[in-house]
Amino acid sequence: MQADRSLAGTPTEVSGAPAVTMTGITKLFTGVKALDDVSLTLLPGRVHALMGENGAGKSTLIKILAGVYRPDAGQISITGKLADLRSPRDALRQGIKVVFQEIALIPEFTVAENIFLEGYPTDRLGSIRWDRIRADAAALFARIGFDVNPDDKVGNLPVSKQQMVEIARALAHEARVVVMDEPTSSLTPAEVAKLFDVIRRLTALGMAVVYVSHKLDEIFEIADTVTVLRDGRHISTKPVSEHTHETLITDMIGRRIDNLFPRARGAAGEQVILDVEELSTEKLKGISFKARAGEVLGFFGLMGAGRTELAKAIVGFDPITTGRITIGGQLLQPHDTRTGKALGIGLLTEDRKSEGLMLDLSVTHNMSLASLERFSKSGFVSEPSEKSAVQAFVDRFRVKTPGLTRQIKFLSGGNQQKVLLARWLMRGLKVIVVDEPTRGIDVGAKSEIFALIDELASDGLAVILMTSEMPELLGLSDRIAVLAEGRLTAIMDRADATQEKILDAAIA
């Protein structure tokens, strides 16, 4: 019924009266406290960042606000009135819109159809007014400055555009509170800037915005207030101006990290282990580079530059059109991961869920997958030796798991990533390609992953790092290569690299 009242509607006054107050929220999952007496006050016209490591209780809190879960104790009031949010529908009616991380659009529908999914305008006969849906969607995009065609089928759009549609959908209906759960995880820098513009417009209209992110820089840029949760408890709520990177990290993980990028390794060796010559695929054009034992070679590139394509081609996962890939002096058979593995190259994928993990299987089975031959005689797996090897890596990498037979889906992102890294190290490699190794991983675990990457290089592996995170690139690499639209546009020593040089090459 409110379908045509959009963000141009009546602005709430930017006054001191809170839009939403959550007090003493406690939520138990099968006896474990996911949230313990947490309070949160959202003021109209303000961006409130919610931070914490994975498992800190952020998503539980958001889901309670969205009416997905009901709290076991505590109260929620909306504009001063006590509210009982029994379902997402209730929350929507009260003006609370949540943009979840996972995209929940219907791929077969057009952008416009998706945006107005919750209530299509109809004429007197009850038939849907498609013309108006299209016009409204176009108007909405024009207003918030997103470049999306309302007639495109959602399934044909890249993920970043889908996310923009998802955000636009939240704004199509009048909202008092907009919650964004890691909205930038698949956006390009330009799109992030646009999103921030939109957020500023929303707050100018008096909406309260809850912003969940792992990216500290974004928090400092956009948020007014930061609330940090840890282990389901409220740790601090402060204006962002009173925080520094260090204080925020300390609040989140409960200890200080002195150096996010520890470097224990010495200088890289001279021996070339990976030699890529004139590699071309459908997407890549004539890429040549060498990687030496003991070095981290970082590849930077904007979205769509071809990082993941390069990663997949050099490990033999994707076919190539021309070029040669040599590992330890031996030629890799393209498009065949089996010979790739035999020569000693492996990929830690950027997409853990769909290309890395076997979610229903145990930690043991996930970790030993690439090195089963090592534990087997004439095809029979020796479970004791497999188990002891897995245990050794669980100890060495400090993987937090209740047991080796635990299904891997119950582990946190950081611990899953350690298991996948161990999958390759157990096998023993010469070259490891790590593609966005810290995507979706919280700060505490990030520094551990960085330390592991450093350790790999000091063990004599060549590490090929694909990343879109500038601090990660600068903090880890010995040399930096830059991709733009499938071409290698620059390759430089870390000592000569600056952000400007790198970005210049990335945009070229």
Partner 1 sequence: MTELSRSAPQVSPKLGWLTSQTQLVLLVTLFALCLLISLAAPQFYSVDNIIAILRQSSLVLIVAVGMTMLLIAAEVDLSVGASLAFAGVVAMDVTNKTSSVTLGVMAGILFGGGVGLINGLIVTKLRINSLIATIAMMMMLQGSVYLYSREAVQNKHLQPLFTWLSTGYVGPLPLPVVVTAVLFAIGYVVLRHTTLGRYVYAVGANEKAARLSGIRPARIKMLVFIVTGLLTGLVGVILCSLMNAGQPTAGRGFELTVVAAVILGGTSLTGGRGTLLGTLLGVLILKVIDNGIIILRWDQDLQMVIPGFIIVIASYLDLLRKKSNAS
Residues that bind partner 1 (CB under 8 A): 29-32, 55, 231, 315, 317, 337-338, 340-342, 346-347, 349, 354-361, 365, 369-370, 372-373, 376, 379-381, 383, 400-402, 406-407, 410-412, 415, 423
Question: How far is it, in rounded angstroms, from Cα 91 to Cα 96?
Answer: 5
Question: How far is it, in rounded angstroms, from Cα 420 to Cα 346?
Answer: 11
207 versus 343: smaller Cβ distance to partner 1: 343
169 versus 341: smaller Cβ distance to partner 1: 341
What's the closest the beta carbon of residue 391 comes to partner 1, in angstroms? 15
SS3 category, 190: helix
What's the closest the beta carbon of residue 387 comes to partner 1, in angstroms? 14
What's the closest the beta carbon of residue 369 comes to partner 1, in angstroms? 5
* φ, ψ for residue 181, nearest 5 deg: -100, 105
Count CB atoms within 10 A of the CB of residue 58.
24
Measured CA distances, 281 to 309, 320, 322, 335, 486 (Å): 8, 5, 7, 11, 9
Question: How far is it, in rounded angstroms, from Cα 66 to Cα 252?
Answer: 24
162 versus 415: smaller Cβ distance to partner 1: 415
What's the closest the beta carbon of residue 356 comes to partner 1, in angstroms? 5
What's the closest the beta carbon of residue 400 comes to partner 1, in angstroms? 4
Question: How far is it, in rounded angstroms, from Cα 277 to Cα 348?
Answer: 22
171 versus 421: smaller Cβ distance to partner 1: 421
SS3 category, 59: helix
134 versus 418: smaller Cβ distance to partner 1: 418
What's the closest the beta carbon of residue 48 comes to partner 1, in angstroms? 24
312 versus 479: smaller Cβ distance to partner 1: 312
Strands (E), 215-338: 225-230, 233-239, 272-280, 287-292, 296-300, 322-327, 330-331
| CB contact burial 320-339 (16+ within 10 A = b; e otherwise) | beebebbbbeeebebeebeb
Residue type, 126: G
Q: Pairing relation of β-strands 73-78 and 81-83?
A: antiparallel
What's the closest the beta carbon of residue 366 comes to partner 1, in angstroms? 8
Question: How far is it, in rounded angstroms, from Cα 71 to Cα 25?
Answer: 6
CB 338 within 8 Å of CB 422: no
What's the closest the beta carbon of residue 379 comes to partner 1, in angstroms? 5
323 versus 340: smaller Cβ distance to partner 1: 340
The answer for residues whose C-beta is within 8 angstroms of residue 496's C-beta and 6 or more apart is none
256 versus 400: smaller Cβ distance to partner 1: 400
What's the closest the beta carbon of residue 53 comes to partner 1, in angstroms? 9
What's the closest the beta carbon of residue 370 comes to partner 1, in angstroms? 4
124 versus 338: smaller Cβ distance to partner 1: 338
Measured CA distances, 53 to 84, 93, 399 (Å): 28, 31, 16
89 versus 406: smaller Cβ distance to partner 1: 406
Kind plus residue range of the DSSP H or E element containing 474:
helix 470-476
What's the closest the beta carbon of residue 184 comes to partner 1, in angstroms? 25
Strands (E), 256-372: 272-280, 287-292, 296-300, 322-327, 330-331, 345-348
CB 260 within 8 Å of CB 250: no
183 versus 344: smaller Cβ distance to partner 1: 344
Question: How far is it, in rounded angstroms, from Cα 188 to Cα 256?
Answer: 30
